[in-house]
A and B are shown apart, each in its own frame.
Chain A
């Protein structure tokens, strides 16, 4: 069994707002194994981004975080901001949807990579500059030497995201968290960026967590998937098993609502996502679930192994078989 890079246990994140508490993450359990690509999928408000923002220590002081996040044997929850700063960029990095806001507009991109290198490693300016060019080359930027002395505005959207990836992997982190990295990009550019991420994972051996709402993106690149709903993970497993025989009614619902060639009528999930200020008792999906019964209102289902998946559904074993494909 591969070594676990990241272990998240019973992670909870609550935000205090003027209107009350928002229970954004409500007990997430999740492992990331060495050099795997884990896809985390969920709809807006499911807590997928907040889970990893909490793990990397980027939430505001308004957020109350409890539980445990262990990165390579080291507990991260409770670390001071200074301690977290030495973790970020060295052991674990995160990239986001909008590459332009992640880059400093008044510095050349080469300098921004050098800054990242020198804040964690003892490198001379010359060594760091050479390494910066190598990194730009690795993420597929043509003429990396010339490009490293250009400013972010001189790059296109896809090229900027490549620069951001270069910065994130500069110190060979063990884990790269990519939060909707291709959502702002056109599909043909998305395909390029996904290839870069896959290459980073395979060549450098960095484990990648890819957070997305797009099940197609996950199907293309991920090894394992974690499905989130209303602040909890409700199903996990290998990509083959999860798409082939999903157990959880929500995962099934998601797959059934995607338009696919040859599919005549889509099956939407009824209702809409719950208000996270007052999530439903018991299983949060029960209000939209066609299989819900009274016990679902009481017990919060835990992840249990069933049919080579981990599924958080009380009725997983009783549900009829599911076929996605015709």
Chain B
């Protein structure tokens, strides 16, 4: 029996762009995700990082089959989600939940907190009175029992995010996708939520797919890291290895772009500042997609697409001229 909970292989998602009436151009597609593969073990956290447009959220949605992938497979507990019938998938959804970024938009303002948390139980036809379960969940996420009868507007952002987490936990999931779960929160509040994720994982053995642009958050929570750029994973490996010894130039630049909160260390380190911005995913550069912003780019980078290769430090990265 393997420890693997989720395996994603060669995931591709293209979004077709609607042609305007007068345009004679061919049908075009945005390649949001191209050949992404990774796995998550039970009780582990994979952090998916990248800038806007890197495809990290799309990966999350494909994993849940909230959107249909163009090609590729998602295996959950060894079962291929793509070949499942609707009923089977529905039953399996219990095991996979998601927490969204905006705690103000993800709760129904007209439902009490208690009924919001109980809703997944009702939808999945769990029999019985759900009050006890709701109370248990509220306490689990650090809220109190009497919060159940209140409405979302009575809560702060951090508390609402806790309600969203309680709802995600209602069906005892094995995997929770955390899509930018703390980026709408102030730092002093964010720390409490990050601690909660850690505690829940220890207590319940849940796996997380943490999607975030904030590298310090990902570093704190994740066991493994996948760095995405323009729809592809450019580097993947253990958290410490990737952060301490980045081998892909983009990973290095990304780490270097995030300011440290220690002014002395921040000002004494050598930084790489990237030129330009992320190109359009409608028309990604040939070969290595990062080459237009890479200081190491050579002719080969435009001609030949680098593949993920194992590096001496233990992670995989896709680069013709890896850092060492």
Hey, which bits of chain A sit against chain B, CB under 8 A? 43-44, 156-159, 186-192, 195, 213-217, 219-220, 239-240, 243, 253-261, 263, 265-269, 272-273, 324-325
Contact = CB atoms under 8 A, between A and B. Distances in A.
B164 interface: no
Interface in B239-270: 243, 253-254, 256-264, 266-267
Contacts of A216: 216, 258-261, 266
Contact of B261 (A219, A267, A269): A219
B225 to A, nearest CB: 13
B257 A188 contact: yes
Contact of A188 (B51, B243, B260): B51
Contacts of B186: 43-44, 213, 273
A186 B264 contact: no
Contact of B259 (A157, A220, A263, A265): A220
B191 A267 contact: yes
B219 interface: yes
A258 B261 contact: yes
The 5 lowest CB-CB distance pairs between A and B, nearest first, are A216-B259, A259-B220, A257-B191, A268-B191, A268-B192
Contacts of B189: 268-269, 272
B273 A195 contact: yes
B261 A261 contact: no
B51 A186 contact: yes
Given A272-B158, A324-B262, A187 B51 contact: yes
B219 A254 contact: no
A188 B254 contact: yes
Interface in B181-234: 186-192, 194-195, 198, 213, 215-217, 219-220
A265 B159 contact: no
B278 interface: yes
Given A43-B188, A265-B195, A324-B262, A259 B216 contact: yes
B274 interface: yes
A261 B187 contact: no
B271 interface: yes
A168 B112 CA distance: 47
Given A43-B186, A43-B187, A243 B195 contact: no
A325 B271 contact: no
B52 interface: yes
Contacts of A269: 188-189, 191
A191 B271 contact: yes
B219 A272 contact: no
Nearest to A242: B263
B243 A261 contact: yes
A272 B159 contact: yes
Q: Is the interface of B mostly helix, strand, loop or mixed?
A: helix
Contacts of B257: 187-188, 190-191
A219 B188 contact: no
A258 B273 contact: no
B156 interface: yes
A53 B92 CA distance: 52
A186 B261 contact: no
A49 to B, nearest CB: 14
Contacts of A215: 187, 261
B219 A261 contact: yes
Contacts of B278: 186
Nearest to B274: A188
B277 interface: yes
Contacts of B194: 259, 266
A152 B271 CA distance: 30
Contacts of B259: 214, 216-217, 219-220
Contacts of A219: 259-263, 266
A157 B158 CA distance: 29
11 contacts: A44-B186, A186-B277, A187-B51, A188-B51, A214-B259, A239-B263, A256-B191, A257-B188, A260-B216, A265-B195, A266-B194
Contact of A158 (B192, B258, B264, B277): B277
B235 to A, nearest CB: 15
Nearest to A216: B259
A191 B243 contact: no
A184 B219 CA distance: 22
B243 to A, nearest CB: 7
Contact of A268 (B195, B260, B271): B195
Contacts of B216: 216, 258-261
A43 B158 CA distance: 13
Contacts of B195: 265-266, 268
Nearest to B280: A156
Contacts of B158: 272
Contacts of B188: 43, 253-254, 257, 268-269
A283 B191 CA distance: 23
A25 B158 CA distance: 23
Nearest to B278: A186
